[in-house]
């Protein structure tokens, strides 16, 4: 037994001729169907190129409009010719002009000889396919499609909508269950003959003439009626992009194609010289690497994913998402700390260790950017110039988070900083804002100036901080926030600090026993009272704990024992 190849061709005829010659040279008869629309001059060229090969024949020609019945007709014409002209053919392998055999012909022959009664055709019921694009699955079979999708898109869409509106449905002929699958199959002589000589064929053909993309359903449906053994897979590797268009294989896919278990691949770029040369001339005897079809699947699945979902947090010349589509999202979770550095002597180094990340100072300080170790230029070339940063604070922050993917970033933020970034932070689902409200007053108190002198400043900063908290707390906000009034925080600093570590570094196993050292706060309560006496109302600080003045200054608060 041997097999024959039916080739449906319409462009790159020089490549088609090369492939036809390859099949024929290895003993496979070939029948070529050439799209009716190909000019005679080109057809003559192809015929001429293959004239020395008696087992390469040409079938009658019909026009093959994509998505229309012509492609099925072409297949029927060429397959009939194959069955009639070459009685020794046991399987018919359907290929296109841009298919390339990627394994030795001998392999395919042996494979088919071992499975003489099996039809290799992807054939899946409409309910089970997940891969059709455009939302037309079942409707391919129940609506009429007289218009070309490629050339008469408007009419096509209009007519589909009209039929839906009017509730028009075609009846699916008795006895058939619609199946879909790759156009590229390999059927046995017995099955093909049974399909082509089926008593109901004219009825089926009439029906399929108005089905959309019948080349993906005609044989896939009818084979189920006649075949005893369908193996539902294509022997031809084909990958599709997110719009359902076939991917093209180029020279750089050589290694990948060599790892495929399929016998042919499409589509091959017409100028992929290396692929044609390798697979048509050298590969017949070359050793193959171990098959790894999963790798191919993963690569193309990832490509679709990348095209459709992009890379969250990246803004560049071919990705700039709208607000609702990721336009307000950075690349990774990060921590924003309001007030903490005013309370501890060594908060930043402590936090860096606890969350195993990078802890910057005030990135949005008005004079200059305070990168973690005071760098003038940070990763990716980010400058410490406040002017550059403030020109586009959102780009600054998203770049910083993007540039440091894989390392958690934290930074201090306070009411003295440039606030414009707050809007972005509030909308960013990756932002985690930790705030000890009112802590901004501590440095003012520690400056030694009197309540009278600083009351204006305290009021101003309090307003800014209140606005920020309201922004991040609003129902529209996507940032996560944990906040404590200064009073609440000082009651028991260990607990909030643990919350922070858990949120920013959820994988950490070992709870840290040591904590950062609080600054001495004895006298702060009376400072707040002085402010009140001056007529100012400090509200964000909450009620100071009565023990404040007796808090052991300069010592770490006691951490509760970890619960294992």
Strand partners, 518: 344
Question: Rounded to whole angstroms, how far apart are CA atoms 65 and 206?
Answer: 17
Question: Rounded to whole angstroms, how far apart are CA atoms 178 and 183?
Answer: 14
Q: Nearest-CA neighbor of 284 among 114, 112, 102? A: 102
**Of the candidates 84, 308, 513, 522, which one interacts with another protein according to CB under 8 A?**
308
Question: Rounded to whole angstroms, how far apart are CA atoms 162 and 174?
Answer: 26
Q: Burial code of 318-327, b = ≥16 C-beta within 10 A, e = fewer?
A: eeeeeeeebe
CB of 559 to another protein, least distance (A): 37
**Of the candidates 232, 269, 284, 416, which one interacts with another protein according to CB under 8 A?**
269
**Residue nearer to another protein on the CB measure, 195 or 397:** 397
Question: Rounded to whole angstroms, how far apart are CA atoms 251 and 269?
Answer: 8
**Residue nearer to another protein on the CB measure, 149 or 440:** 149
Label residue 119 exposed, middle or buried (CB < 10 Å: 0-12, 13-18, 19+): buried
Choose one: 73-81, 182-190, 244-252, 424-432; the region binding another protein (CB under 8 A): 244-252
**Of the candidates 247, 258, 360, 455, which one interacts with another protein according to CB under 8 A?**
247
CB of 254 to another protein, least distance (A): 9
Size of the site for another protein (CB under 8 A): 52
CB of 378 to another protein, least distance (A): 6
Number of residues written out for the chain:
564
Choose one: 250-258, 354-362, 449-457, 486-494; the region binding another protein (CB under 8 A): 250-258
Beta strands in 287-357 (DSSP E): 334-338
**Of the candidates 136, 304, 418, 459, which one interacts with another protein according to CB under 8 A?**
304
**Of the candidates 51, 318, 474, 550, which one interacts with another protein according to CB under 8 A?**
318
**Residue nearer to another protein on the CB measure, 53 or 303:** 303
**Of the candidates 60, 197, 250, 560, which one interacts with another protein according to CB under 8 A?**
250
Phi/psi at 526 (nearest 5 deg)? -70, -30
Q: Structure tokens of 142?
A: 């129940």
**Residue nearer to another protein on the CB measure, 33 or 247:** 247
CB of 253 to another protein, least distance (A): 9
Which of positions 221-240 make contact with another protein (CB under 8 A)? Answer: none
**Of the candidates 312, 429, 443, 520, which one interacts with another protein according to CB under 8 A?**
312
Residue 146 is classified by DSSP as: -
Q: Nearest-CA neighbor of 420 among 398, 440, 390, 448? A: 390
Question: Rounded to whole angstroms, how far apart are CA atoms 6 and 30?
Answer: 6
DSSP string, 520-552: P-TTHHHHHHHHHHTT----TT-PPPGGGGGS-
CB of 152 to another protein, least distance (A): 17
**Of the candidates 37, 206, 302, 532, which one interacts with another protein according to CB under 8 A?**
302
CB of 140 to another protein, least distance (A): 22
CB of 151 to another protein, least distance (A): 15
**Of the candidates 53, 303, 352, 519, which one interacts with another protein according to CB under 8 A?**
303
Phi/psi at 12 (nearest 5 deg)? 45, 55
CB of 259 to another protein, least distance (A): 15
Question: Rounded to whole angstroms, how far apart are CA atoms 111 and 114?
Answer: 5
Beta strands in 100-185 (DSSP E): 100-101, 119-120, 124-125, 179-180
Question: Rounded to whole angstroms, how far apart are CA atoms 482 and 433?
Answer: 6
CB of 268 to another protein, least distance (A): 12
**Residue nearer to another protein on the CB measure, 131 or 391:** 391
Question: Rounded to whole angstroms, how far apart are CA atoms 443 and 439?
Answer: 8
CB of 409 to another protein, least distance (A): 13
CB of 81 to another protein, least distance (A): 32
Contact 296, 328 (CB under 8 A): no
Indicate the SS3 state at residue 74. Answer: helix
- The contact mask relative to another protein for 370-409 (x = CB under 8 A, - = no) is -----xxxxxxxxx-x-xx--xx--xx--x--xx------
**Of the candidates 309, 423, 452, 463, which one interacts with another protein according to CB under 8 A?**
309
Binding site for another protein (CB under 8 A): 241-242, 245, 247-248, 250-252, 269, 271, 299-300, 302-304, 306-312, 314-322, 325-326, 375-383, 385, 387-388, 391-392, 395-396, 399, 402-403
């Amino acid at each position: 037994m041997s097999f024959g190849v039916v080739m449906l061709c319409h462009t790159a005829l020089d490549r088609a001729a090369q492939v036809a010659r390859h099949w024929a040279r290895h003993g496979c008869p070939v029948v070529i169907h050439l799209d009716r629309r190909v000019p005679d001059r080109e057809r003559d060229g192809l015929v001429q190129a293959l004239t020395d090969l008696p087992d390469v024949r040409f079938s009658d020609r019909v026009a093959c409009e994509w998505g229309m019945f012509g492609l099925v007709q072409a297949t029927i014409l060429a397959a009939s010719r194959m069955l009639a002209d070459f009685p020794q053919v046991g399987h018919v392998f359907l290929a296109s002009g841009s298919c390339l055999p990627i394994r030795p012909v001998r392999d395919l022959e042996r494979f088919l000889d071992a499975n003489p009664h099996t039809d290799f055709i992807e054939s899946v019921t409409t309910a089970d396919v997940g891969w059709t694009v455009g939302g037309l699955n079942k409707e391919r079979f129940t609506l009429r499609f007289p218009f070309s999708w490629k050339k008469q898109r408007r009419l096509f869409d209009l007519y589909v909508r009209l039929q839906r509106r009017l509730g028009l449905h075609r009846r699916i002929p008795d006895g058939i269950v619609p199946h879909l699958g790759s156009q590229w199959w390999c059927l046995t002589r017995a099955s093909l003959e049974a399909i082509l000589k089926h008593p109901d064929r004219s009825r089926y053909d009439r029906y399929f003439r108005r089905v959309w993309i019948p080349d993906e359903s005609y044989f896939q449906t009818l084979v189920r009626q006649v075949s005893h053994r369908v193996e539902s897979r294509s022997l031809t590797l084909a990958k599709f992009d997110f719009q359902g268009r076939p991917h093209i294989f180029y020279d750089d896919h050589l290694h990948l194609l060599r790892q495929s278990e399929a016998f042919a691949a499409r589509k091959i770029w017409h100028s992929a010289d290396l692929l044609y040369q390798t697979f048509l001339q050298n590969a017949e005897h070359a050793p193959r690497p171990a098959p790894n079809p999963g790798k191919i699947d993963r690569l193309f699945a990832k490509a679709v994913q990348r095209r459709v979902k992009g890379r969250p947090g990246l803004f560049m010349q071919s990705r700039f998402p709208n607000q609702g589509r990721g336009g307000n999202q950075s690349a990774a979770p990060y921590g924003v700390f309001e007030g903490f550095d005013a309370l501890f002597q060594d908060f930043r180094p402590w936090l860096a260790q606890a969350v195993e990340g990078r802890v910057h100072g005030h990135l949005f300080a008005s004079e200059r950017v305070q990168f973690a170790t005071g760098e003038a230029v940070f990763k990716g070339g980010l400058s410490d110039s406040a002017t550059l940063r403030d020109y586009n604070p959102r780009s600054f922050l998203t770049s910083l988070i993007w540039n440091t993917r894989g390392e958690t970033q934290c930074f201090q933020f306070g009411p003295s900083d440039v606030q414009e970034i707050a809007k972005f932070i509030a909308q960013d689902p990756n932002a985690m804002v930790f705030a000890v409200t009112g802590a901004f007053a501590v440095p003012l108190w520690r400056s030694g100036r009197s309540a009278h002198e600083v009351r204006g400043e305290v009021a101003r900063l309090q307003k800014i901080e209140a606005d920020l908290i309201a922004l991040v707390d609003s129902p529209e906000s996507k940032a996560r926030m944990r906040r404590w009034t200064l009073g609440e925080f000082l009651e028991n600093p260990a607990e909030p600090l643990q919350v922070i570590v858990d949120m920013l570094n959820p994988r950490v196993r070992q709870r840290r026993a040591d904590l950062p050292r609080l600054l001495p706060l004895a006298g702060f309560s009376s400072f707040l009272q002085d402010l009140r006496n001056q007529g100012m109302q400090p509200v964000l600080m909450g009620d100071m704990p009565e023990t404040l003045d007796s808090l052991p200054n300069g010592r770490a608060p006691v951490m509760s024992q970890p619960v294992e």
